[in-house]
Structure 1
Amino acid sequence: MHKFFVNKANIDNDRAFIDGDDVKHIYKVLRLQVGDNVNINNCEGEEFLGEIDEINKKQVIVKIIKQLPLNNESNIEIYLFQGLPKSSKMDLIVQKATELGVKEVTPIVTERVVVKSELGEFKKVDRWCRIALEACKQSKRSLVPKINTPIGFNNLLEFLKQIDLIIVPYENAEGYGIKKVVENINKRDVKKIAVIIGPEGGFDETEIETLKNLEAHIVTLGPRILRTETAGFVCISLLMYELGDIGG
């Protein structure tokens, strides 16, 4: 069944009002008709079963039938901090991180980032938000992850003070991976996890030392060097398998 995210302000009693790009998608691409059932999400995690009541070129009105006991979110919150990559790699990173269930995605500007967060990178945030929304629809998530504007390394350090577990894949790490991290922690105490991925050039050694001082776990993801856009997916998948809801 097709799913649409509707701002809570556009849900009034037993009616949901869909507008924007979704309207054209509903009647031109999906070819949905009056009487068809759809799922409505209020952008705050609540899901409803609805029936299309009216379709016009500006708005689709959906009659709310009932609330659904549905929550596809993970029991852990993963915050991905991604060293800002070149080209359109961030598009793919946002899409796949959303599918995997991350809570937030924040691009970071580290020492070896090639694109130093010029104005153009900030303008891309709107596109990344749209990509996250579409990925949520496809993956049937209950919440849309927050996509933040790029931040500097020092701002990252401030945020990490609120985190239970910090994971930093590093190409020079040896003999210590996700499996050993999980063996050495109390799983019940871990709710918020930061995954910090370096850019194409990797982390500067001083950055790694700074993260170590914050008790970050500097880990290896295996004997092969992964691209920046691959490392995050692998790390998040391993954590979701060990602590979250991937793998059953």
Structure 2
Amino acid sequence: MHKFFVEKNNITGDRAYIEGDDVKHIYKVLRLHEGEKVSINNCEGEEFLGIIEKIDKKEVIVSLTEKLDLNNESPVEIYLFQGLPKSSKMDLIVQKATELGVKEITPIITERVIIKNEIGEFKKLDRWVRIALEACKQSKRSIIPKINGPLEFQQLLTKLKELDLILVPYENEEGYGIKKVVRDIAQNSINKIGIIIGPEGGFEEDEINVLKELGAYIITLGPRILRTETAGFVCASLIMYELGDLGGKSSK
């Protein structure tokens, strides 16, 4: 069944009104017809079962038949802070982080980040938001992750104070990984987890020292050096497996 996100003010009574690019996608790409069932999300985590009532080139009207008791979000909130990479790598990072269940994605500007056109980087934000929305539809998520504009390193430090756990994969760290972090922390007090990934050139040592002073766990992801666009996926996956829902429900 196809899923669509509709702003809350586009739901009136028992009808949802789909507008914008989704309309063309419905009749021209998916070739859906009146009478077919679809899933509607109000962009705030509420899900509805509906039947397409009317399709035209401006809007699709869906008759809502049932509110669903459905929540595909992880019990832990992961906040990904990604050193801004070159080219279009951030597109892939946003897509895959969304599929994994990351709650919020923020590009960060560290010492080794190279920005050729700062205005251009901020203009990419609209594209990243669209990519996150499409990934939400594909992965059947209940909430669209928030995609923030790039933050300077000093701004990042203020943001980190809101989190319960901060993980920083670092190529010069040896032996201390996520298994040991999970063993060392009081898991019942952990809800908001920040993952900080360096750019292609990695972190400067002084940046790592500042993060340590804030209480961040500097960890290894293994003996092999991962690309910046890979490290976030791996770290988020391991945390989702250990503390979230990626490994399935506990048998206890």
Q: TM-score per shorter chain, which class?
A: over 0.9
AA of the residue aligned to 1:127: R
Indicate the residue corresponding to 1:164 in structure 2. 164
Output aligned runs, 1:203-218, within 5 Å.
Answer: 203-218=203-218
Q: In structure 1, how many angstroms separate the alpha carbons of the residues matched to 2:141 and 2:178?
A: 25
Contact 1:85 1:115 (C-alpha < 8 Å) held by counterparts: no
| Identity level (%) | 73
Indicate the residue corresponding to 1:92 in structure 2. 92
Indicate the residue corresponding to 2:135 in structure 1. 135
Q: CA deviation at 1:115?
A: 1.8
Indicate the residue corresponding to 1:102 in structure 2. 102
Indicate the residue corresponding to 1:43 in structure 2. 43
SS at match of 1:78: strand
Indicate the residue corresponding to 2:113 in structure 1. 113
Q: CA deviation at 1:243?
A: 0.1
SS at match of 2:156: helix
Q: CA deviation at 1:116?
A: 6.2
Indicate the residue corresponding to 2:18 in structure 1. 18
Q: In structure 2, how many angstroms separate the alpha carbons of the residues matched to 1:159 and 1:19?
A: 35
Change (3 A) 1:117 1:98: farther
SS at match of 2:161: helix
Indicate the residue corresponding to 2:52 in structure 1. 52
Q: In structure 1, how many angstroms separate the alpha carbons of the residues matched to 2:117 and 2:148?
A: 13
Q: In structure 1, how many angstroms separate the alpha carbons of the residues matched to 2:101 and 2:23?
A: 26
Indicate the residue corresponding to 1:72 in structure 2. 72
Q: In structure 2, how many angstroms separate the alpha carbons of the residues matched to 1:120 and 1:114?
A: 13
Cα offsets for 1:39-65 (capped at 9, x unmatched): 000000000000000000000000000
Q: In structure 2, how many angstroms separate the alpha carbons of the residues matched to 1:116 and 1:183?
A: 42
Indicate the residue corresponding to 1:153 in structure 2. 153
Give the paired residue count: 248
TM normalised by structure 2 equals 0.98
Contact 1:109 1:116 (C-alpha < 8 Å) held by counterparts: no
Contact 1:40 1:48 (C-alpha < 8 Å) held by counterparts: yes
AA of the residue aligned to 2:101: G
Output aligned runs, 1:164-203, within 5 Å.
Answer: 164-203=164-203
TM normalised by structure 1 equals 0.99
Q: In structure 2, how many angstroms separate the alpha carbons of the residues matched to 1:115 and 1:71?
A: 38
AA of the residue aligned to 2:206: T
Contact 1:117 1:150 (C-alpha < 8 Å) held by counterparts: no
Q: In structure 2, how many angstroms separate the alpha carbons of the residues matched to 1:117 and 1:166?
A: 30
Q: In structure 1, how many angstroms separate the alpha carbons of the residues matched to 2:151 and 2:33?
A: 44
Q: CA deviation at 1:184?
A: 0.3
Cα offsets for 1:110-158 (capped at 9, x unmatched): 0000126600000000000000000000000000000000010011000
Indicate the residue corresponding to 1:3 in structure 2. 3
Change (3 A) 1:170 1:71: same
Gap runs ≥5 in structure 1: none
Q: In structure 2, how many angstroms separate the alpha carbons of the residues matched to 1:162 and 1:30?
A: 42
